[in-house]
């Protein structure tokens, strides 16, 4: 039984590392900040989650702790990427677009700028 | 959400949350550990119970079933999102057509909106940029439609129909 858990854990770690690598490649290849955010957020979330879960499978006494970390990553990662994307837009970083499709533009002009709120 | 939950049910909810986290960190069944955890959780719950909006109303059996269903829908979408990003990153032509779309949500609870925004960020090709009242602004890596109605159907609908059943 322990043997199988170990194999599952190693499989998860390899799977996670693969997606972390793909996320890094995405950050390297994408044309602008927002698309890098896309690749970075998704790949690093699944990659880190499955890597830590794999550690939990190899060391079963750490399983519950690694589950807490997985839940924390699933909540915190999208929040931070949301904050990054929003603040980038508010600081006039225009997204790269092949054809102009920007529904947020009209709203961002009306809203108070970040520095005015401080 | 129907009506405001009583202070007791809010307190019990916060207490259970803290106690479960305590138990998960210590992972021991010794009495000394459990009693210390219960005391600490009780004190913390006393300070923070006003923040748990739903109280124990979240624990009706039907809602728990929906929570489990949401978890699996979310997990499936997360894996699909990663395969999607992987496909785009690896293909030499870099097939992207980015843009920002807007749509309207039917959710009313702030917490449910937060869950929906987080879920959208982790699902194929979309990152939530901002949420203003009930409008979502989403950066989409491959825009299929600019129409708010159809964008809603494509991006948010599978999550929102479950969240509506849980948070109402």
Residue holding tokens 């109605």?
Answer: B149
Residues of chain B with pLDDT under 50: 1-2
Whether ipTM tops 0.85, in short, is: no
Residue A95 has its nearest CB partner, among B126, B132, B139, at: B139
Contacting residues of A for B101, CB less than 8 Å apart: 101, 103
The pLDDT tens digits for B132-166 are 877 888 888 877 777 777 777 777 778 888 888 87
Q: Which residue of B has its CA nearest to A16?
A: B82
Stretch 71-130 of chain B: residues touching chain A, C-beta under 8 Å: 78-79, 81-82, 85-86, 88-90, 94, 96-102, 117-119, 121-122, 125-130
Alpha-carbon distances, residue B108 vs B13, B17, B57, B130 (angstroms) = 21, 24, 16, 16
Whether the pLDDT of residue A5 is over 50: the answer is: yes
A43 contact residues in B (CB cutoff 8 A): 82, 85-86
Domain boundaries, chain A: 2-86
Q: What is the pTM of this model?
A: 0.77
Would you put residue B65 in left (φ > 0), alpha (ψ -120 to 50) or beta?
alpha
Tell me how far apart the terminal alpha carbons of chain A are, to the nearest angstrom. Answer: 57
């Amino acid at each position: 039984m322990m043997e199988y858990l170990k194999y599952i854990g190693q499989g998860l770690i390899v799977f996670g590392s693969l997606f972390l690598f793909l996320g890094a490649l995405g950050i390297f290849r994408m044309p602008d900040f927002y698309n890098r955010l896309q690749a970075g957020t998704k790949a690093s979330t699944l990659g880190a989650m499955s890597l830590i879960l794999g550690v939990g499978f190899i060391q079963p006494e750490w399983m519950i702790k690694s589950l807490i970390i997985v839940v924390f990553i699933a909540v915190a990662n999208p929040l931070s990427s949301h904050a990054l994307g929003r603040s980038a837009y508010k600081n006039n970083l225009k997204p790269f677009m092949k054809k102009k499709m920007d529904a947020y533009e009209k709203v961002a002009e009306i809203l108070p700028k970040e520095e005015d709120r401080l | 959400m129907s009506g405001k939950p009583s202070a007791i049910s809010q307190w019990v909810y916060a207490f259970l949350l803290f106690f479960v986290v305590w138990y998960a960190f210590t992972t021991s069944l010794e009495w000394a550990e459990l009693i210390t955890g219960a005391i600490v959780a009780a004190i913390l719950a006393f300070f923070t119970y006003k923040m748990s909006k739903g109280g124990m109303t979240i624990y009706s059996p039907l809602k728990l079933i929906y929570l489990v269903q949401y978890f699996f829908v979310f997990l499936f979408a997360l894996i699909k999102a990663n395969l999607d990003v992987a496909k785009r990153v690896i293909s030499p032509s870099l097939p992207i057509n980015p843009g920002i779309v807007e749509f309207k949500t039917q959710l009313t609870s702030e917490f449910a909106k937060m869950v929906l925004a987080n879920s959208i960020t982790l699902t194929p090709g979309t990152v939530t940029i901002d949420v203003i009242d009930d409008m979502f602004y989403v950066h989409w890596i491959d825009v299929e439609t600019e129409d708010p109605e159809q964008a809603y159907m494509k991006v948010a609908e599978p999550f929102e129909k479950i969240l509506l059943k849980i948070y109402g």
